[in-house]
Chain A
Amino acid sequence: KNEVEQSPQNLTAQEGEFITINCSYSVGISALHWLQQHPGGGIVSLFMLSSGKKKHGRLIATINIQEKHSSLHITASHPRDSAVYICAVRRNKLVFGAGTILRVKS
């Protein structure tokens, strides 16, 4: 079993929909990161969470340390949100989930 599990693996949404991507982990961590990888390949760090909730524009990330679970929400989704979203947990190193491929159709 992978230390970091993401769901769903693939997600297709219509423009404007509310999107949720989930991340569960099985080990103790110091922090959790959400990353975005666009089709061109570049990786951008979206959030670092050690507790609670963070918001940046239309993106919201939450973490529940007790339940070892984090969610990334996208409100009013747009085709430019189409990307791979990767959850990574920090122990003595970054351990990555497999990623969620999101496609937002107009």
Chain B
Amino acid sequence: EAQVTQNPRYLITVTGKKLTVTCSQNMNHEYMSWYRQDPGLGLRQIYYSMNVEVTDKGDVPEGYKVSRKEKRNFPLILESPSPNQTSLYFCASSFSSSGYYGYTFGSGTRLTVV
């Protein structure tokens, strides 16, 4: 089954404790991206990747890191999480960055930083 797999689904952590949210796709998609969703603010892009070893900042990159060492994986790293990073996170992938192909979203990761 074609899918984007995010882990974990739920995570409660403490301020400052480094964490990684994994994202993996099995569709050989070139384009992958991370979004956060907050009440009243909607979905906002954090980082995106056009292909292996090619990443760039989205609208809200502060406090996050990403890497794209393999085509299928695009982990989101929070080096020192803070409470304002409490949010619902989505990873998505698409065949290309052109926008002419649909996006496949992961199931989401609900992160709480206390």
> CB within 8 Å of B: which residues of A?
29-31, 33, 35, 41-45, 48, 50, 86, 88, 90, 93-94, 96-99
**Chain B residues with a Cβ closer than 8 Å to the other chain, count:** 22
Please state if A97 and B42 are interface contacts (CB–CB under 8 Å): yes
Overall SS of chain A's interface: strand
Given A41-B88, A43-B90, A98-B42, A30 and B108 touching (CB < 8 A)? no
With beta carbons under 8 angstroms apart, the residue of A30, A41, A86, A97 that contacts B110 is A41
Please state if B107 and A90 are interface contacts (CB–CB under 8 Å): no
Please state if A94 and B42 are interface contacts (CB–CB under 8 Å): no
Please state if B102 and A86 are interface contacts (CB–CB under 8 Å): no
Inter-chain contacts of B48 with A (CB < 8 A): 93
Overall SS of chain B's interface: strand
Across the A-B interface, the 7 shortest Cβ-Cβ residue pairs:
A90-B99, A31-B99, A43-B105, A45-B102, A96-B43, A30-B99, A41-B108
Please state if B99 and A42 are interface contacts (CB–CB under 8 Å): no
Interface residues of B in 72-114 (CB under 8 A from A): 88, 90, 92, 98-105, 107-108, 110
> CB within 8 Å of A: which residues of B?
33, 42-45, 48, 58-59, 88, 90, 92, 98-105, 107-108, 110
Chain A residue, CB-CB nearest to B108: A41
Please state if B107 and A41 are interface contacts (CB–CB under 8 Å): yes
Inter-chain contacts of A43 with B (CB < 8 A): 90, 92, 105, 108
